[in-house]
Amino acid sequence: MPPAEGDGSLVDYYRRRAAHYEAIYGRPERQEDLAALRGIFSGAFEDAAVLEVAAGTGYWTAVIAQSARSVLATDLAEEPLGIAQAKSYPRGNVAFQLADAYSLPESLGRFGAAFAGFWWSHVPRQRIDEFLASLHARLDPGARVVMLDNVYVEGSSTPMAGADREGNTYQMRRLHDGSRVRVLKNFTTEEELRERLSPHAARFSYRALRYYWVVEYRLK
C-alpha cells in the first residue's frame, strides 16, 4: 500500500484494520452488487496463472481461485495477508508473497492474467504510471488485466475530507479503537481510466454497478 502523504501510511492503516476489513462486505445495500461481482470473478480467470496485487485479507482471492489455474496473492502489509493465508482454498492453487506494487520483483515470475481489487483508488495520481509499469513488467503480452474498485455513492461512501495539489482526494476513517486516520481515496471516472490505460490496453471494457466499477483489458 502506498503512503497517504503527510498522514502515516496505508500499510499501517490496513495492518490496524485487518481484522475488521471485510465488515464492509456485510452492508445490506451492497449485496446485489457483490453477488454480481462474485458471479463475474468466479469464472473470470479460467485456467490462467493470476498475479493479484494488494490482495489484502483474500476476500477476492478466494473467488478468483475458483477458476484460475494458480493465484499468487501479493500485498505489502503482513497482517491482512496473514488473514488471507489462513483461509481455505479447496483447489490448493493459491500462494502468497509480500511485495510492493510499485516494484514487483522479477522473482515473482510472469503471468497470463492480473487482478487488482480496490487498489486503483489508493494509488496517488502521480504514481499511476509507476504502478502500471511495475505490473505490466510481470505480465505476458496479451495478458488479461481486471481491476475492481468503488463508485462514490452519497450517503453510503465515507465523505471526502480534502484534496492535495496533485488532485488526490482523502477520507477520514475511524478504526475500531476509536482513532481516526486520513486515507488517500481517489474516485475515478470511465474517461480517466480510458485515458490512463489506453496506451497499454487492447479490448478495453468498463462496467459500472451502483457501488463498484470493473475494468478489463488485454495488455498490448
pLDDT of residue 176: 74
Q: Walk along the chain (220 residues) and give the pLDDT tens digit of each residue.
A: 333 333 346 656 555 554 566 888 999 999 999 999 999 999 999 999 999 999 999 999 999 999 999 999 999 989 889 999 999 999 999 999 999 999 999 999 999 999 999 999 999 999 999 999 999 999 999 999 999 999 999 999 999 999 999 999 999 887 777 788 889 999 999 999 999 999 999 999 999 999 999 999 999 9
Closest CA to 119 of 171, 59, 52, 61: 52
Residue 28: φ, ψ to 5°:
-60, -40
Domain boundaries, the chain: 10-155+189-219
Q: Is 133 helix (H, G, I), strand (E, B) or coil?
A: helix
Residue 193 has φ and ψ, to the nearest 5°, of -65, -45
pLDDT score recorded for residue 12:
67
The beta-carbon contacts of 60-63 under 8 Å, at least 24 apart in sequence, are 60/115, 60/117, 60/148, 61/87, 61/89, 61/94, 62/87, 62/88, 62/89, 63/38
pLDDT at 4: 35
Residue 10: its pLDDT value, please? 66
Rounded CA-CA distance 59/75 in Å is: 13
Please state, in angstroms and rounded to a whole number, the distance separating the CA atoms of residues 81 and 74.
8
Strands 169-174 and 160-163: antiparallel
pTM (2 d.p.): 0.90
Strands of 1-104, DSSP E: 49-53, 70-75, 94-98
Distance of alpha carbon 88 from alpha carbon 85, whole angstroms: 8
For the stretch 180-213, what's the b/e string if a residue is b when 16 or more beta carbons lie within 10 angstroms of its beta carbon?
Answer: ebbbbbbbbeeeebeebbeebbeebebeebebbb
Q: Which CATH class is domain 10-155+189-219?
A: alpha beta
Query: What are residue 95's DSSP bridge partners?
Result: 72
Q: What is the pLDDT of residue 20?
A: 62
pLDDT at site 174? 78
